Amino acid sequence: MADRLTQLQDAIDNQLTLMYASINYIKTRHPYGEIPGQPSQAPPPAPIPAPPQPAPSQSLTNGDAPPSQPNGPAQPAAPPQAARAPEQQPDQRDGSPPPERPDTFNAALHELARDLVLQEQQIELLINSLPGLGNSEASQERRMRELDAELREVERERAEAEEERERMVDALGEVLAGTRRVH
């Protein structure tokens, strides 16, 4: 686990990333607005191509060849969708995505705003958990002296316990040396 300052820096970095992503989304995906008295500059909605369906009389099974045309040479088939040149819309010359529908755009804006607010609250929580907030320099120095005195007392008690342990080991050694082995 990282210390609080590192967590705070990471949270700020996340906040900035969220802000950048939000601004970029708004810039690239906003719906066109209608201005009264002016022609719309919004591109026409892209038509949804219907999937090709075979004619009812030409149902083929695997391995069957299409029937030959008796009335002349065969006409070339239309090129597949991928081979055709894509029609560029005016707003997509640079490869930007098409605008969102207003309801989808507004829902995404609410979600982005919620994420920004939650990240900001996390930053506030981390800032409030930092030591020293609400304490003056004098009170912090006094607390450090108290902790130093407490540490010295605990260290003195540890040294006394270490001396007691040494005495007990010596006493145990004398007791063991004074006993005889019984054969």
Residues 21, 7 share a domain: yes
**Residue 152 lies inside a defined structural domain of this protein:** yes
147 and 173 co-located in one domain: yes
- Whether 49 is covered by a domain: the verdict is no
Tell me, yes or no, whether 107 lies in a domain. yes
Distances (CA, A) of 18 to 96, 111, 174, 175: 20, 11, 73, 73
pLDDT at 37 over 70: yes
Q: Coil, strand or helix: which one is 39? A: coil
Asked if residue 108 is part of any domain, the answer here is: yes
Structural domain range at position 143: 136-182
Q: Assess whether 146 and 166 both reside in one domain.
A: yes
Specify the number of domains making up the chain.
Answer: 2
Q: Give the Cα separation of 70 and 66 in Å (integer).
A: 12
Residue 23 belongs to some domain of the structure: yes
Residue 76 in domain: no
Give the residue-averaged pLDDT of 56-72. 51
Please check whether residue 141 is in contact with residue 133, taking contact to mean a CB–CB distance below 8 angstroms. no
Residue 110: pLDDT above 70?
yes
Tell me the average pLDDT of the chain.
78
145 and 139 Cβ atoms separated by less than 8 Å: no
Query: Do residues 113 and 123 share a domain?
Result: yes
Check whether residue 1 and residue 21 sit in a common domain: yes
Average pLDDT over residues 151-170: 96
Instruction: Say which range, 39-48, 75-84, 91-100, 174-183, has the weakest mean pLDDT.
Output: 75-84
